[in-house]
Amino acid sequence: MSLLTYPYTMSFSTLRERVLYTSVRVASHPLAKKHQPTYDGLLADCDKSVSKQLALSDELLLASIKCDQADETLDDLLERIDDVLLDVCDKERKHLIYKRYFGLRPRSDVARPTLGKQLEYMAGWDASLQTHGSPALDQLGKELTGVMAAGHAADEGYRETSRKLLDLRSGGKQALVDRVNQVNRATWGDLAAQVGTKAGAHLPKNFADRFFPHQSKAEVTVDTLTARLEELAAEQQTVTAQRDRMRAELAVAAAAEKAKEQAEAKAQLAALSEQAAELAKKRAELEKKLGS
């Protein structure tokens, strides 16, 4: 049997099981026992990685919950702001004060984006709401300051934890897998060299192979497959959440760009209409002079 090279796609739990297998095997043979401290160290590193991944997965879930709570609080406050603005503007959505905040968008569109994009859209609202001389808007502006701060903290917490988890599952895992493979090759070579020596005169040719798990023993078990599925599910949840957030952000950006283009087109049309009216007026004046 040739020595297996462990792939980067291997889960932390499966890697730990393989290291544990070799650690136990080398500890039980006098010619291999000298390698036990090295594998005990690798096993400790695997345990740290497994624990860190579990901790970060839990942290990411908590961060996601905080984002949901912050988003709901912001949406609830947005509804109150909308109601008070309509009262201040006599229910006129085209009023300059109302358009300062919502433009021509319905409230549902402002509340729909992900937390980060909604916070970006509503930046500066808290201070602006306190400039209209309305006690109700003034109070909402002060309240919004705290809600926005909590929202930014929740959003950044989620992003930071996502980065840490992805770093662990990519760079962190790769470094650990590389170390295990390197130690395995060195250990296998040392054990294989024992065959045929005076101390290992009666050793079988596959002596070195016996200290490392075979494919069937290491991977195809219910426990290892279940552990791998759980890790993949957690990773899928992280990536799916990031994809959904990116989709929402792109949709908001596209909608904002479209709204900007429409606003610019309307402004240009209004300017042209004004110029046309002015030209029509001048033409009428000139025709009147010619007629007289």
DSSP 11-58: -HHHHHHHHHHHHHHHHTSTTTGGGHHHHHHHHHHHHHHHHHHHHHHH
Chain centroid to CA 57: 12
Contact 40, 23 (CB under 8 A): yes
Question: What integer best gives the mean pLDDT of the chain?
Answer: 86
pLDDT one-digit tens code per residue, 68-86: 999 999 999 999 999 999 9
The pTM score is 0.62
pLDDT surpasses 90 at 94 = no
What are the C-alpha distances in Å from 237 to residues 54, 155, 231, 240, 243? Answer: 14, 17, 10, 5, 10
Instruction: Give the DSSP per-residue string, 70-113.
Output: HHHHHHHHHHHHHHHHHHHTTT-TTSHHHHHHHTT--HHHHHSS
pLDDT surpasses 80 at 17 = yes
Which range, of 103-107, 121-125, 144-148, 158-162, averages the lowest pLDDT?
Answer: 103-107
Give the pLDDT mean for 163-176.
Answer: 89
pLDDT one-digit tens code per residue, 230-268: 667 766 776 777 777 777 767 766 776 777 777 777 878
Give the pLDDT mean for 143-172.
Answer: 92
List of long-range contacts for 86-93, beta carbons under 8 Å, 24+ apart: 87/136, 88/132, 88/134, 88/136, 88/137
- pLDDT at 224 (0 to 100): 58
Give the pLDDT mean for 86-115.
Answer: 87
| C-alpha to C-alpha distance for 4 and 188, rounded to whole angstroms | 11
Measured CA angle at 283 (ends 282, 289), to 5 deg: 90
pLDDT one-digit tens code per residue, 200-217: 778 898 999 999 997 654
